[in-house]
Structure 1
Amino acid sequence: MGYRIEVRDRNLNRIGEIDTWLRLDFTVRFSEAGYWQLLIKDGTEQAKLIDKGGGIAIYQDGVDKPLLTGQVYEFQKYWTTQQHPDTGSVYIGGSCDNQLAFDRLAFPDPFLPVPEQYKGRDTRAARGPAGRAVWWELDKALGPGALADRRVPGVELGDGPMIGDEVSDSLRYDVIGPKILEWCKTKKVGYRFVWNPNTKKIELDIYTPRDLSKDVRFSTELGNLREYIYTLSSPKVTRAIVACQGEGSERYIYQKIDSASEAEWGVIKEAFVDRRDLAIKTDKATGKPVKANADMTDQEFQEALKAVEDAADTALKEGEKNGNFQIYPIDTPQCAFGRDYFVGDIVTVIADGTEYSDIVREVNITVDNDGAVDVQPKIGEQGSGEPLNLYRSVWEMREKLRKLEARL
């Protein structure tokens, strides 16, 4: 499946096409800023098309909308004796147009300029259907509803769709991109900015992610799963010991035990949590927790007791047994990214007889000058820096495989 690159100038006019390059790398992300980088021979007419303030659109054969559009942010000259020793090459790179959301802050009062924010509210509530909330924040930060000096020329936001689950949040100088990404992950909504060369606009598309879990499936049997790895790890903490205020034998000590993990893995692993900021000590006569300060109210005491339990829970959660699932689908003539599924869609992976369905968060694509294409989707929280603990799913895979081997 082929790809082509169309080039725009800073005024969003289409000015040409690039069809000869040494290497093209780009990453498409769900409701995040993707990235693109092009390696091309320097000094050519095609290389000269891309200039500061301009950008590109990457199209896939047979797909009407571009997979990614974005502005150029970087030029890097590259010369070696092996590659174009006469003129050298140039790396040209940038972010996708979703970067617009990551370049803006959510002002407490978006109708006041920065020097006058003191006249408004300290924080601002964000409520309503997620699609409408995403649109509202972008409109007031960079669209027609923004202050004149914050508006981005050529951005077309359309109307705010009433889709997605309800948002209830507060904002105070949050970077808008990460904030609305939180909503997109949990509120059944997604968005992307896409340059339209016909309208000469960067258009906002807010949508409901598609559930393709029954139609787009990856497995070794289907030939579209290159590799999968699943790992079960024993817990790093099974007993959390929290210490509060009090001196010597009066210091209050609380312990919480993950008995199920200790029985399963046959390990005992203790962790000490210092919370001397909590005004609780031990009553030596009863062994019970009591107020460390006489002026402490009953409500403050109950809140401190709850904080002790929360500290123990946090330590056990951070050190709990872990299941990690890494999957590496590939494109085939029957199932290809862009044509058959896109970031934000829910797909299914089948490994060792266990089905796992989750959202396509990111896809990395490399296209070499000989036309070789490498497509690497990331499904769920894989590679996100916040990996989901899939212990139960991975355990079920292992058990099914163990039972199958026993029958054989």
Structure 2
Amino acid sequence: MPFPDAVTVQVRDQNLRILGVVDDFTSLSLIPRFNAVGAFILNISADSPKADLLIPGNGLVIQRGSKVLISGPIREPNWSSGQGKGTLTVNGVDDMTLLAGATCWPNPTAADSAQTDPVYKISGVVAETAMRTLVNLNIGPGAQAARKISNLTLATDGGYGTSITRQVNQFDNLLAVLQDVAKTAGLGFRIVQVGSSLQFQVYEPADLSASAKFSFKLGNLIDSAYSVTAPTCTKAVVVAGGSSSPRQVKVYTRADAAFPGPWIEQFVDLTSVDTASVDLTAQMDQAADEALTSGAAQGNLTMTPIDTPQLQFGRDYTVGDQVSCQVRDDFISDVVREVNITFDAQGGYVAKAVIGSSDSTDNQDVLARQFAYIARIFNRLRRLETRKPS
């Protein structure tokens, strides 16, 4: 049966060609996430003529109206039966998974045997240009043939963000690096199917806190809950050099008025950076800004909004935008980190938004937690290697 709000589920093949439309699913859940890997779950009768299309290697493109909410590959089809009726459950992730599965090579244009550079350096370019270059050279059109994703393109560079200078450790996870740059620059990024290609896009999220408001009085809110976590870093101790060049230490402080307690120091490891570098100050400033931004106090607001003619997800706001929600007598504004959307065969539709911290247990996806853990291990190993006698 047709679903409300013009929701369309298309099936694509490995070459991104559309094979058909699934219009008889019994339920559909999708979770678009801001700067992270999203997911979807679709349930359909195992006897459906469309079931044969829902196999690994194919993928889904889910639209509401003309807007693509999520697109990505099918990962886990599961069949179950009961009382003579079979159900096919299809799990998948969105196309951001391409970034989660890639690394940043120290010299992306060189052959595998020529990866002798210790770091990849970004010097004095705006954040969006740096992000596009990282994607382009590692998995995009400019990548080595063995690493290139043939149907991945890059949207036009809009020049978003301020100039950045930093080093990327060899073989750091590509998604994690992009998340760090985007968070400091206040940008969003995504990969989504556009026509017959996948497109990497960088954008500036909109501040809709004055117009996109949710409250019980406005009739567009079912429930809400808000919590705050204390900062984990208010003083960044940046250490550069120390092995092949003299050590330099610089301390950066960012007080948090809401948490006037003792300073919380965090070591920021730039020991791989030569202190004779002409852009040393810019690199130390950038590293401190990222540490202080990531370690700042976090708010976490979970709410269940209701679409109204005046305010609808996907039309009036989306993940990454800043909206506001009434909590007791005040309106709290923050970034929409993810939205859990559910459709069912009876025409039911629920959208549950998570606003605020990208680090909370509730809304941080498993892949991001795994990559953060792996990154911490690699950082510890690098510090040990720099201190090992030669």
The two structures have a TM-score, normalised by structure 2, of 0.70
Letter in 1 for 2:139: L
Aligned AA (2:331):
E
2:335 paired with 1:359? yes
- Deviation of the 1:338 alpha carbon: 0.5
Deviations 1:77-101 (A, max 9, x none): 11222xxx25x11111211111111
SS of the equivalent of 2:186 reads coil
Of all paired residues, the percent bearing the same amino acid is 30
User: Do residues 65 (structure 1) and 67 (structure 2) align?
Assistant: yes
- Please name the residue that 2:26 is paired with: 22
User: CA shift at 1:183, angstroms?
Assistant: 2.0
Aligned counterpart in structure 2 of residue 334 of structure 1, from 298, 307, 310: 310
| RMSD of aligned residue pairs (Cα, Å) | 3.1
Where does residue 385 of structure 1 map in the other structure? 361
Partner of residue 295, structure 1: none
Displacement, 1:176? 0.7
SS at match of 1:229: strand
Deviations 1:221-280 (A, max 9, x none): 112222123468999xxxxxxxxxxxxxxxxxxxxxxxx99999xxxxxxxxxxxxxxxx
User: Are 2:114 and 1:116 equivalent residues in the alignment?
Assistant: yes
Q: Give the conservation status (yes or no) of the 8 Å contact 1:165–1:188.
A: no
SS of match in other structure, 2:109:
coil
Say whether the 8 Å CA contact 2:54–2:77 is kept in structure 1: no
**1: distance between equivalents of 2:305 and 2:348?**
16
**Deviates most, 37-46 or 148-157:** 37-46
- Distance apart, 1:360 and its partner CA: 0.8
Structure 2 Cα separation of the partners of residues 379 and 261 of structure 1: 19
CA–CA distance in 1 between the matches of 2:306 and 2:176?
A: 29
Given residue 57 of structure 2, which amino acid in structure 1 is its aligned partner?
A: G
* Deviation by residue 1:340-398 (Cα, 9 ceiling, x = unmatched): 111111111222332221111111111112121111111111773399xxxxxxxxxxx
Task: Tell whether 2:352 aligns with 1:376.
Answer: yes
* Alpha-carbon distance in structure 2 between the residues aligned to 1:234 and 1:45: 52
**Aligned equivalents of 1:261, 1:133: Cα separation in 2:** 34
Query: Residues 299 and 356 of structure 2 are in contact (CA less than 8 Å); yes or no, is this contact kept in structure 1?
Result: no
Equivalences for 1:7-406 in 2 at 5 Å?
7-60=11-64, 63-81=65-83, 85-86=84-85, 88-118=86-116, 121-127=117-123, 128-171=125-168, 172-196=170-194, 199-230=195-226, 325-381=301-357, 384-385=360-361
Q: Distance in 2 between matches of 1:180 and 1:383?
A: 16
SS at match of 1:45: coil
Deviation of residue 175 (structure 1)? 0.7
The count of corresponding residues between Structure 1 and Structure 2 is 302
Q: Is the 8 A contact 2:303 2:352 kept in 1?
A: no
Specify the alignment match of 1:243 in structure 2. none
**How far apart are 1:210 and its partner, in Å?**
1.0
Cα 1:380–1:145, aligned 2, differ >3 Å: closer, same or farther? same
Greater Rg by CA? 1
Supply the distance in 2 between the matched residues of 1:32 and 1:263 (Cα, whole angstroms): 32
CA distance in 2, matches of 1:200, 1:363: 26
Q: Do the aligned partners of residues 47 and 348 (structure 1) sit closer, same or farther apart at CA in structure 2, a change above 3 Å counting?
A: same
Normalising by structure 1, report the TM-score: 0.67
Structure 2's unaligned 5+ residue stretches are 232-256, 262-291, 364-390
Contact between 2:63 and 2:70, CA under 8 Å: does it hold in 1? yes
